């Protein structure tokens, strides 16, 4: 039975590329038949990454049958995984997020979690010298994952090791990092095809603060005005999305990759008081700019309070 | 603030030695002040290991204050750790047990779980070339941990890698593995100083089967008759220990390291039916011998059923 390798339900570049990388490694180096899968449609940057490196798009995972061997990458959160994940045979976890608890295994397995910016960086280290055997597309996916998760080294999640790995991959591939990153970010910024509800859910994590369930959404873009032009419509859609998803409030942070700042939409007094308490700002209108804020993991979630 | 490194509440050789090894590595190689701690009195083999390699006995951990930086080794089970462990600042987890869920971290940290016989083997790999800087006592503790957890390579948990690491450490130290293992097992077999209740709790894991809470205890020994001579007294003590610990039944497996078999005490019909259902044996008296059974993790827990 082939081992299924997958990331979380909102496939960004790392959660699309890392399963492809690891399925290659298991199949071609370790001799363990493995297949990359997706738990949702890849975002526009992830789709660009697949096209750019000429990689086939992984299939969407349907029902996950009990006892299916799986490797979970880029998350350890059961809420971001199939409901039946603990009935599968989890054979490995590779991740770079805080441990939330909830995943269980039936025997000791390989689990590697590291405080690095990107799952693909961890895979680079685990694969070691065998990476020399990887085809161009696998190395290219690895590079794209790191540039995506680090926002081309601008995000405060970036470690010197993420950067060094990306630079060595770029040199090996003969790729100019600024050109590749610019093309990726342009793809990510093209959100014209998405409805407001889709935008609010595209890169989103559930997070609980003081008993309130928040859906904390981030849109990383080089063209923030395109999103801000839709702010009234986006704010009107928040209540419906929150209700459907069992959340009390949707927060939308529009991260300007080039200016290195985030703009938070402020649809009501709840978000106003949250913004003021969390980021030490004074909010007057229906948006507030947060200079230097780029990372949900490092800067937004740890700050959130009422 | 020094980082506290500790294992579980029933310190055997691995759970005593691995904190000592990792505290050395953090302090002396990584420059992070760290101190090994114990969550209970080391067993007789672990105490021998400390004396043999001239290592100071780590202090007993008292209250664990909130926000204390800690590294957890040889377990990921909150039930085997201080009640306040999730209020500490968990900075690392190194373990070789199944993931039970329940530990949470506040940010991404280093977590390494591997399906190897021994935590110290994982540390050997993580430390890498820096092990050359380790004093004799640290390498000796590493060797002792592996010989203990593998029962000198007899346990089915032993992997070729555990064995290779132990043999390379023994060659480096100029130690004859059979002599060291014999001395360790003799120390572990000297249980004369312990009360029946202490023996029943010495190397024990809580485990739930079909809604029943079991305390699954193992005594690894080269002198099983010493324990079997106390079987009536041990069986009489089981009910009180179970009641005090909130369990429905204590199981005691006496593992004969040299004959590579376990003897289960059968104090009542519940244990009789469990033994017959779990191990496919027919029980007539108040003990049953289970040929080849040496590992709670690999052979006992996965088999248990009513």
pLDDT at A152: 98
Residues B79 and B130 grouped into a single domain: yes
CB contact under 8 A, B113 and A114: no
Q: What is the DSSP letter of B40?
A: S
Whether residues A24 and A68 fall in one domain: yes
Predicted confidence at residue B18, as pLDDT, reads 98
Q: Among the three residues B187, B211, B235, which one is the final residue of a domain in this structure?
A: B187
Interface A-B: count of C-beta contacts within 8 A: 81
Q: Specify the pLDDT at position A1.
A: 86
Question: Could you report the per-residue pLDDT of B132-145, keeping only the tens digit for each?
Answer: 999 999 999 999 99
The CATH number linked to A263 is 3.10.310.20
A105 neighbourhood in chain B, CB within 8 Å: 98-99
B97 touching A (Cβ < 8 Å): yes
Residue among A207, A224, A214 at smallest CA distance from A263: A224
One domain for residues A50 and A109: yes
Q: Residue A120's domain spans which residues?
A: 3-187
Q: Identify the residue among A79, A85, A99 best suited for mutation to test binding to B, counting B beta carbons within 10 A and taking the highest.
A: A99
pLDDT, one tens digit per residue, over B215-266 is 999 999 999 999 999 999 999 999 999 999 999 999 999 999 999 999 999 9
Residues B124, B144: one domain?
Answer: yes
C-alpha closest to that of B197 among B153, B165, B233, B168: B233
pLDDT at A106: 86
Last residue of a domain, one of A146, A165, A187: A187
- The total number of structural domains in chain A stands at 2
Average pLDDT over residues A74-79: 96
Distance from the B103 Cα atom to the nearest Cα atom in chain A, whole angstroms: 6
pLDDT at A136 over 90: yes
Per-residue pLDDT band at B1 (split at 50, 70, 90): confident
A88: contact with B, CB 8 A cutoff: no
Mean pLDDT across the stretch A112-133?
98
Of the three residues B165, B187, B209, the one that is the final residue of a domain is B187
Does the pLDDT of residue A199 top 90, yes or no? yes
Instruction: Residue B223: name the closest of B266, B179, B188, B184 by CA.
Output: B188
Measured in whole angstroms, the distance separating CA B24 from the mean position of its chain's CA atoms is 20
Rounded mean pLDDT of A176-189? 97
- Is any Cβ of chain B less than 8 angstroms from the Cβ of A104? yes
On the question of pLDDT at A143 being above 90, the answer is yes
Q: Residue A258 pLDDT > 90, yes or no?
A: yes
Give B96's contacts in chain A (Cβ within 8 Å). Answer: 108
ipTM of this predicted structure: 0.88
What local confidence, expressed as pLDDT, does residue A163 receive?
Answer: 98
Rounded to the nearest 10°, the torsion over CA A33, A39, A45, A51 is 40
Closest by CA to A42, choosing from A148, A125, A180, is A148
Alpha carbon A244 to its chain centroid, in Å, reads 22
Point out the residue among A102, A108, A116 whose CB comes nearest to the CB of B113: A108
| Nearest beta carbon to residue A98 from set B108, B114, B116 | B108
Please tell me what DSSP assigns to residue A78.
G
Which of B109, B110, B115 is opposite residue A108, by nearest beta carbon? B115
CB atoms within 10 A of CB A291: 10
* Cα B289 to Cα B282: distance, rounded to the nearest angstrom: 10
Band the pLDDT of B119: cuts 50, 70, 90: very high
For chain A, give the mean pLDDT. 96
Straight-line distance from the first to the last Cα atom of chain A, in angstroms, rounded to the nearest whole number: 49
Residues B113 and B211 in one domain: no
Q: pLDDT tier at B190 (50, 70, 90 boundaries)?
A: very high
């Amino acid at each position: 039975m082939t081992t299924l390798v997958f990331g979380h339900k909102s496939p960004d570049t790392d959660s699309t590329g890392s399963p492809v990388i690891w399925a290659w490694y298991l199949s071609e180096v370790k001799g363990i038949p493995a297949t990359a899968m997706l738990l949702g449609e890849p975002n526009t940057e992830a789709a660009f990454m697949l096209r750019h490196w000429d990689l086939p798009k992984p299939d969407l995972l349907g029902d996950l049958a009990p006892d299916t061997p799986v490797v979970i990458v880029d998350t350890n959160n059961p809420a971001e995984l199939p409901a039946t994940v603990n009935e599968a045979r989890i054979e490995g976890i590779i991740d770079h997020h805080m441990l939330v608890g909830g995943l269980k295994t039936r025997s000791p397995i390989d689990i590697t979690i590291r405080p690095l910016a990107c799952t693909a960086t961890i895979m680079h280290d685990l694969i070691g010298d065998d990476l020399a055997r990887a085809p161009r597309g696998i190395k290219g996916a690895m590079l794209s994952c790191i540039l995506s998760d680090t926002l081309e080294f601008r995000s405060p999640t970036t470690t010197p090791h993420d950067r060094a790995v990306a630079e060595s991959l770029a040199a090996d591939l003969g790729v100019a990092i600024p050109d590749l990153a610019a093309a990726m970010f342009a793809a990510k910024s093209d959100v014209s095809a998405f409805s407001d509800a889709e935008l609010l859910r595209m890169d989103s994590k559930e997070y609980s603060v003081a008993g309130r369930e928040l859906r904390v959404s981030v849109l990383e873009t080089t063209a923030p005005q395109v999103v801000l032009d839709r702010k009234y419509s986006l704010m009107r859609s928040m209540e419906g999305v929150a209700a459907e998803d069992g959340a009390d409030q949707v927060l939308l942070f529009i991260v300007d990759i080039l200016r290195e700042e985030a703009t938070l939409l402020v649809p009501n007094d709840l978000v106003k008081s949250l913004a003021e308490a969390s980021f030490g700002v004074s909010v007057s209108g229906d948006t507030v700019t947060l200079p230097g804020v780029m990372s949900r993991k490092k800067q937004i979630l740890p700050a959130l309070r009422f």
